[in-house]
Chain A
Amino acid sequence: MTYIATFYTHFGALTFQREQKRQGLNAQMMPVPRALSASCGVCVRFAQEGEPQVEGATDLEGLYQEEKGGYRCVFQAE
């Protein structure tokens, strides 16, 4: 499964990506897809089997699963 995690800050995305990489996972930072946000923040795209554990990630705004032709919201911060 491929997921996209969006963040309130660039720092949050950077921290999350580095942690994913430390765990040996393939995680890439990139601009947030336009379909997910009108803002110009960055997100982390990563692959993981099963539901990813994102609790406690710094400045996490949302988590989306990539689906054919779109995205499915898995988690969204209050």
Chain B
Amino acid sequence: MDGVRQTLKEFEQFARARGLSDDLRRRFLVALDEVLSNVARHGGPSGGPVQVDFKLTGDRLTVTVEDDAPPFNPLDAPPADTSSPLEQRKAGGVGIELVRTLLESVRYEHTGGRNRLTLTDRNSRHTNHS
């Protein structure tokens, strides 16, 4: 989990240095926490290092997460339960549901023996948020 902590901290520093809005910074932090803890769970003991890159082009932020674990597309997960009453509600799957819905675009590809997830959104999409 230390890798997750370190990457989230690096993203916070990137967000501050590049003047990202609080809204965009927080949406990416939520998504990154989900994606990285997912990779940590599914990567298995043979999982090599996870590579995370942040890129801001104009107002478009792109974050890529790559690992060399066996092919795994987190976006294949079934929709999470977001409507059952409390008694039946399960928390499983909510994380990837958030990744799918919080950001403008999320894309998975398996290329060159690596899993690559590309997350993108714009800095100015929700200017009225705090």
Q: Do A and B come from one complex?
A: no
Residues of B near any A CB (own CB < 8 A): none
Residues of A near any B CB (own CB < 8 A): none
